[in-house]
């Protein structure tokens, strides 16, 4: 599976957003962060891997991710995803470009 995608990111106050657009079918290797965050499937579909559990996602689905949860995502070609990190002045998050997940919440 190819891991090709493009991304952009921006911060507004306490919210940091990283946006990913899959140019091809792409994968996010399992990883962890030191802060809570959510991921939204804006367009297309894919599979979020949440602590070893595969959760199919489509546009409009959102994933809540507690800090230190092992997570990754396989994005289908042409899909668009947004990762939203809620942080404060003490956060040491490294925004490393991977989508995330732990507890899926459809339509939230």
- CB contact at 8 A, 85 and 43: no
From CA 66, how far away is CA 78, in angstroms rounded? 27
Residue 85 burial (10 A CB sphere; 0-12, 13-18, 19+): buried
- How does residue 15 score in pLDDT terms, banded at 50, 70 and 90? confident
Domain of residue 50: give its range: 5-106
Instruction: State the pLDDT at residue 98.
Output: 38
For residue range 22-81, what is the model confidence (pLDDT) as tens digits? Answer: 877 766 778 888 888 888 999 999 998 888 888 899 999 998 878 888 988 888 888 998
**3-state SS class at 51:** coil
- How does residue 89 score in pLDDT terms, banded at 50, 70 and 90? low
pTM: predicted TM-score of the whole model, two decimal places: 0.71
Structural domains counted in the chain? 1
Q: What is the CATH number of the domain that holds 12?
A: 2.60.120.10
Q: Show the 3-state SS of 11-32.
A: EECCEEEEEEEECCCEECCCEC
């Amino acid at each position: 599976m190819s891991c090709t995608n493009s991304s952009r990111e921006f911060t507004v106050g306490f919210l940091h957003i990283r946006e990913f657009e899959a140019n091809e079918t792409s994968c996010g290797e399992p990883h962890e962060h030191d802060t809570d965050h959510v991921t939204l499937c804006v367009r297309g579909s894919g599979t979020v891997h949440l602590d070893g559990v595969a959760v199919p996602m489509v546009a409009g689905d959102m994933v809540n991710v507690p800090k230190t949860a092992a997570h990754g995502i396989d994005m289908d070609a042409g899909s668009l995803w947004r990762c939203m990190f809620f942080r404060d002045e003490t956060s040491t998050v490294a925004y490393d470009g991977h989508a995330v997940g732990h507890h899926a919440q459809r339509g939230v």
